[in-house]
Structure 1
Amino acid sequence: MLQSRLVSPEGQVVEAMFASAAEPAGSLRWLPPVEGTVVGALLNYRGELEALGDALSAPPYQAPPKAPILYLKPANTRIGHDHDVVLPADVDGVWAGACLGAVIGRTAMGVPARHAADFIAGYTIVNDLTVPHASYYRPAIRHKCRDGFCPMGPWMVDRDDVPDADALDITVRINGEIKQRANTSTLVRPVAQLLADVTAFMTLEAGDVLLVGMPENPPLARAGDRIDIDIAHIGTLTTALIRQSEVSR
């Protein structure tokens, strides 16, 4: 089952459920399927760590991470499927960050990995738009928290309708051309272990979203580009990038 949120031109929010992929009727527009806090994990794909190589053992890092490196995508970043993102004047391009989002179903604190599924309501797709940068281990607020930098959706797919969250094909297309392929089988911390490690020190509430990571070598997208992120068994999240000068056209 697909659970969605849509909004009418008058601002009325509509909760909708679909048995299969569907487009909203009439003038309804997609909202993010959930409204909770979005928590992301850095360096959670093996390819990311391998690409950095010995750099993680040199200053300022000194050693590879032993715990999840987390960040937040605040409320100003969240938008729905098929919305435009206005690139700020000082941003030439952004990484298209194809992320599987695990939606929390009930209060999760100190969750053992073997029981993690009991706390996950379902899964969605998140485009973790990020201004390119080379710094880890410190908050990348300027790079990740611009307005509209967390497209999400189109819907949440029930947990039981996703056969194996740790074996999902991910494809990123820019203007219809495939720019990235990945699979969640290469996660450093699989979904259950990541949830266990995060809830060992912080509580996640129903409606929060835990991003399992951004695959290595995210493609760069610029104003005028259309980004489609496909994740198997979930769907396709579409985002268009525009400049401020195009907003009033």
Structure 2
Amino acid sequence: GSLGVEGRAGSSTSQVKAALATELAGMTDCRLEGDRVIAAETRSIIPARADQDALPPELQVATKPPEVVAAEMLRAASQRNGWRLVVTPPEKHPEIGRSVAKAIGATFVSFEEELLKRMEPEFAKFERAERFKAQRPKLKAAAEALLDELVKSYGGPGKAVVLGDTGILGLCEATHLPQRLYSRATGENIGFWAVVVPGVISKRQPLFNERTPVFHLDSSTIPLASTMVSLTAI
């Protein structure tokens, strides 16, 4: 797979973005053949999936489902500056992220959508960066710059933000960004930020897309397997 779009010269903005999103969604796990990046689905042998940990004790409440307990925890945390990592099944990642924002009354920001907007004017450059290993730092730099822009645009005293649709971080080799955001959220007055990532927690270690270890703190990491409902509806 690549970022190539047939006949893109005549494509509308929405068509190009839709094609980009489709291609990128399939590239969150990759392998290299020479200097080219190949989608993982072309592998002949699929690695075994990591074993998922049991729910942590703090989410096991007899009278409430885990997603309600998690929503209450996140709502309480969102009342002050801070950072949380929410780990979701990859196949449910988009909808769970949006449900978290709705449940706790926070602003939802789609990292993928915002990145695609910024990539579009220089489509050819990013298409090449996606295909060739030597140019992939362009994608990483774009992701890092975007995070700084989002913090500036959405962060601030009393703000609560849920950053979702982060599967694209794998393609950009930018799975360090949750840690970068943690450093800013705990060192600056930018409000509360919850980062929702696709993956699994195995042996207390969150694995991005069930493979790549990602920065976490046990006390600030929440596994979430189902969408949340608004606390006001409970």
For the aligned pair, the TM-score class normalised by the smaller chain equals: under 0.3
Relative to the length of structure 2, the TM-score reads 0.25
